[in-house]
Structure 1
Amino acid sequence: MNQHQPPAWKDVRAAFQKIWGYDDFRPPQGEIISCLLAEKDALIIMPTGGGKSICFQLPALLQTGLTLVVSPLVALMENQVQELRQRNLSAALLHSELPSSQRRAVLQALERQQLRLLYLSPETLLSAPVWERLCQPQLKINGLILDEAHCLVQWGDTFRPAYRRLGAVRPALLKFKPQGTHISVAAFTATADPLAQKTIKEVLRLEQPAFFRVNPYRSNLNPSVRIVWTPRGRKQHLLKFIQERKQEPGLVYVRTRRDSENLAEWLREKGYSTTSYHAGLGAEERRAVEASWLSGKIPFVVCTCAFGMGINKPDVRWVIHFHAPHLLSEYVQEIGRAGRDGKPAQALMLISEPTGWLDPEDKQRQRFFEDRMRKQQLDAQQLMKKLPKKGEVNAVAKQFPDSAVALSLLHSSGQLNWLNPFEYIIEESRPKQLTTQLNAAKQMNQYLTTKQCRWQFLLNAFGFDKEAANWRCGHCDNCRK
């Protein structure tokens, strides 16, 4: 084992008070920090705004050596690293949009062991220049943290296939480290239902993980779903909702980049000060939008799911879903941006009338999503017949441009194993039914049409059955009826 004694608890608390200025930990922060300082694997589910990042940042800062934080979005990394640097703490980030001079400086700091925390995406972690440096025997790595771990489930099969290779990272790194080295792995998320928890544990190869989970219920957050009968009606509803909340900070969530640009433009024509935000914007544009919103210069942003993760604005009074998200986990993440100060906040979702005759958009969106999922699965099974049984990711990608997604889907269906993060072996076996995303989409539809308490539905969906029994929140639209 690493020759290291966890610091005394009074020193842990003193560091916490000095760096963050709070008096004491909120449960279960203290237990999670103790667990990570003891170098144990862990799966942590805590609601948005519950103080997850402190739980892995503090242990990383108190240990010698490096903690790697795998994070899905550049904006999320930038926010966390900026906050840490403002406190003069040794943290850095690496992503594809960094200027090459900054990238070189971070890689040098990594080689010289000057960093406690390094934030990167799964793709950057597995890029050659970074991987080569991480494998150097003298570089001490304490832990691998997967932040926003629901992205592994939500995006890992198709959109971000590198997520599926993360379980092979620890064993591969340990081959290069001195004997007895220990690297712990911990996954943090606000939303993971029982099936997602199982996927995260299996993909990351967590070893007897400690399990912490906090009920997602928030008494100040009032969810409601409203049927709109036409595309014009949807826009009118949005306008009325915003007019009633003049200058209150909020967020409008839409499905696609184009939706966010078109709707923001329409709202500006109506005299509202707003802008669009999506993953297609450059780093400087994103920063400018975030700064304008955080400072109150613009009261609300029209955004895709790329906005909000890790951005902390306590006084958000409302979130409106102009389009329903595909998955409940996305929905809970996004409404969780509101009311972090504990004061009442509204979470409204607009949906087409159920037949889809007057406004077929929602049905079309849903069908497009399901068809694309099925096509990708079918393509993966077809491509498997052509792929080498044993192969190296980059070499195979040159020959078969769509292979990255196919490999991750084959891993998901139990037909492929990763020998290390770069080499796979295909196992001859019948594919497991890949129903995760499609089932999750069905669950979202059930939520939209349920007559039961919205919070009761959400508690059941995320595995809090005991808490959900006989539950009635009293403040969602269904309870108020």
Structure 2
Amino acid sequence: MTTLIIAIARFLPLTRTMLQKIKNELMENSWDSVRETFKKIWGYEAFRPPQGEIVRSLLAGQDALIVLPTGGGKSICFQLPALLQTGLTLIISPLVALMENQVQELRERRLPAALLHSQVPRYQRKQTLQAIEQQKLRLLYLSPETLLSPPVWQRIVQPHVRINGLILDEAHCLVQWGETFRPAYRRLGAVRPTLLQHKPPGQKIAIAAFTATANPQAQKTLQHALKLRNPQSFLISPYRPNLHLKVRAICTPRGRRQQMLKFIQSHGKQSGLVYVRSRRDSEELAQWFQSSNYSTAAYHAGLSAEERRTIEGQWLKGTLQFVICTSAFGMGINKPDVRWIVHFQAPQLLSEYIQEVGRGGRDGKPTEALTLMSEPTGWFNPEDKSRDRFFREQLQKKYQQAQRISRQLPPQGEIAAVSQEFKGGEFALALLHSAGQIEWLDPFHYQRRSEAAQGNLKQLSATQQRAQREMNRYLTTRGCRWQFLLNAFGFSSETGTLHCGRCDNCLKRRR
């Protein structure tokens, strides 16, 4: 657009005001074309705020940090700019189910999108890799691990393969999993500078992080880890007035099951979800409900891809009334009429909690979310305290292991070599990077930072423990639960006059 304005100015004696007018008209015409494409593909007349502003930002090549509530229409915000540009946009997604759901919808609209993951058939994988080289795609969905695998990296790094953007979908996974579960997430900040070294001069790659949950500390982590450059921030409150939040304390394992059963029975045949913390719990509860003729199933990462797809499809169609699942289920799955959510055990983090309750009530109708917890003393039922202690101890072991490995690391080296030499080496490097003790030379090599620049693993561990304690404070608060959540996620300015009137604590005060 700028080139066109300069060309016009060479041949016509235009004032600055006239040039600005031409520029505004060209921009408006261009935006009309964007809206026309939006309507043609998705059928909507207008963007939902702040979708339009996000699309403008990404089309301008700006980095962005976007926090939108679950069901806020995040995927359109990066899919539309990708389809309007020449070149490839990489969508980093945490789960196979999430990738497949989005790519299936795009393909049904005959749009140039593909996905790569470990379960893709060999022939399909070959076709997709060829399509990357031939620049036939606009959107490519893949995990961080797949992005950094040799077959994919060798193709996207080629000078003729134009990369427009790197989109991190469900970006909270970098914060929650990047240090202890999915260490490849911590290396994503090295992707852009390394790619640009192999691309023609002047080429730009924008990075945008999308999530429904990121408190101020998580936002800083994302900005630092991804090396965002002056990102445009779009931060929308997670408050959903139709979500009615409840917490119930129970004294025995039997009481926990009975409370859940009573809650589900009160909702008749309405659709819902039961969240648990382990595969074992999901399978045991599914058998318990099935023995009482409930239409349900267990869902966890131990199932095959085909089994997971079958369960998702049955739930979406209503063949299954509810699914008993671990945190992986529901991410990116659009089922508007989920009327209830049960947390059979409380999540470890508030960010997980917001994600999971947010999968209910996407149609805006009243939805209840019940969380069950052991009574706070733990005298009658120490189940929750034992589980929390186990997770804390496991995390502490990883920090200790990282510190041991750090003493043996050479000043710089290859990440793959460290992973082979040390058990848990890749996790240790991710933790050391998060603590500021190392930096990435590229996505595959590291170097130690100077002693003065190094951070402390103990401080990192303390931060994680504070986040877990915050979840416990939420469970035991006597104030408005939505006020607590808004304060925790950095929206304190909205809490002054807010009393949701629907959470269990607000209802107690009203009575």
TM-score, normalization by structure 2: 0.92
Matched, 1:392 2:414: yes
Worse-matched range after superposition: 29-38 or 352-361 = 352-361
Match of 1:458 in 2: 485
| Higher share in helix | 2
Q: C-alpha distance in 1, partners of 2:135/2:67?
A: 31
Deviation at 1:310, TM superposition (A): 0.4
1:138-174 deviation line (CA, Å, top 9, x unaligned): 0010000000000000000110000000000000000
Deviation at 1:257, TM superposition (A): 1.1
Q: Which amino acid aligns with 2:275?
A: Y
Matched, 1:261 2:283: yes
Trace 1:16-35 onto structure 2 (pairs within 5 A).
Answer: 16-35=38-57
SS at match of 2:165: strand
1:362-399 deviation line (CA, Å, top 9, x unaligned): 00111111111111111101111112221111122111
Residues 1:443 and 1:363: Cα distance change in structure 2 (over 3 Å): same
Q: Which amino acid aligns with 1:464?
A: F
Q: Which amino acid aligns with 2:289?
A: L
SS at match of 1:365: helix
1:2–1:180 contact (8 Å) kept in structure 2: no
Worse-matched range after superposition: 432-441 or 311-320 = 432-441
Matched, 1:289 2:289: no
Trace 1:233-312 onto structure 2 (pairs within 5 A).
Answer: 233-312=255-334
Which one of the candidate residues 363, 376, 385 is aligned to 1:363?
385
Q: Rg larger in 1 or in 2?
A: 2
Match of 2:21 in 1: none
1:154–1:437 contact (8 Å) kept in structure 2: no
When the two chains are superposed, the root-mean-square deviation of aligned CA atoms in Å is: 1.4
Q: Which amino acid aligns with 1:255?
A: R
1:409-448 deviation line (CA, Å, top 9, x unaligned): 0001110100100000012435331033211101100000
Match of 1:436 in 2: 463
1:43-83 deviation line (CA, Å, top 9, x unaligned): 00000000000000000001110000001011000100011
Matched, 1:132 2:154: yes
Match of 1:38 in 2: 60
Q: C-alpha distance in 1, partners of 2:463/2:225?
A: 14
Trace 1:332-351 onto structure 2 (pairs within 5 A).
Answer: 332-351=354-373
1:2–1:181 contact (8 Å) kept in structure 2: no
SS at match of 2:56: helix
Q: C-alpha distance in 2, partners of 1:436/1:468?
A: 25
Deviation at 1:2, TM superposition (A): 12
Residues 1:220 and 1:210: Cα distance change in structure 2 (over 3 Å): same
Trace 1:123-162 onto structure 2 (pairs within 5 A).
Answer: 123-162=145-184
Match of 2:133 in 1: 111
Q: C-alpha distance in 2, partners of 1:330/1:149?
A: 12
Match of 2:193 in 1: 171
Deviation at 1:453, TM superposition (A): 0.2
Match of 1:313 in 2: 335
Matched, 1:90 2:112: yes
1:252-306 deviation line (CA, Å, top 9, x unaligned): 0000111111111111112211001112211111110000000000110000000
Match of 1:62 in 2: 84
Q: Which amino acid aligns with 2:310?
A: A
Q: Which runs of 5+ in 2 are unaligned?
A: 5-25
Q: C-alpha distance in 1, partners of 2:166/2:116?
A: 15
Q: Which amino acid aligns with 1:56?
A: F
Q: Which amino acid aligns with 1:135?
A: V
Matched, 1:47 2:87: no
Residues 1:84 and 1:68: Cα distance change in structure 2 (over 3 Å): same
Match of 1:102 in 2: 124
Which one of the candidate residues 471, 476, 488 is aligned to 1:449?
476
The total of aligned residue pairs comes to 481
Q: Which amino acid aligns with 1:341?
A: D
Q: Which runs of 5+ in 1 are unaligned?
A: none
Q: Which amino acid aligns with 1:421?
A: P
SS at match of 2:338: coil
Q: C-alpha distance in 2, partners of 1:442/1:428?
A: 33
Which one of the candidate residues 383, 386, 390 is aligned to 2:405?
383
1:221-265 deviation line (CA, Å, top 9, x unaligned): 100100111000000111111111121000000001111111111
Matched, 1:476 2:510: no
Q: Which amino acid aligns with 1:280?
A: G
Q: Which amino acid aligns with 2:502?
A: H
TM-score, normalization by structure 1: 0.98
Match of 1:407 in 2: 429
SS at match of 1:302: strand
Q: Which amino acid aligns with 1:431?
A: G
Q: C-alpha distance in 2, partners of 1:189/1:292?
A: 27
Q: C-alpha distance in 1, partners of 2:3/2:314?
A: 47
1:149-204 deviation line (CA, Å, top 9, x unaligned): 00000000110000000000000000010000000000000000000000000000
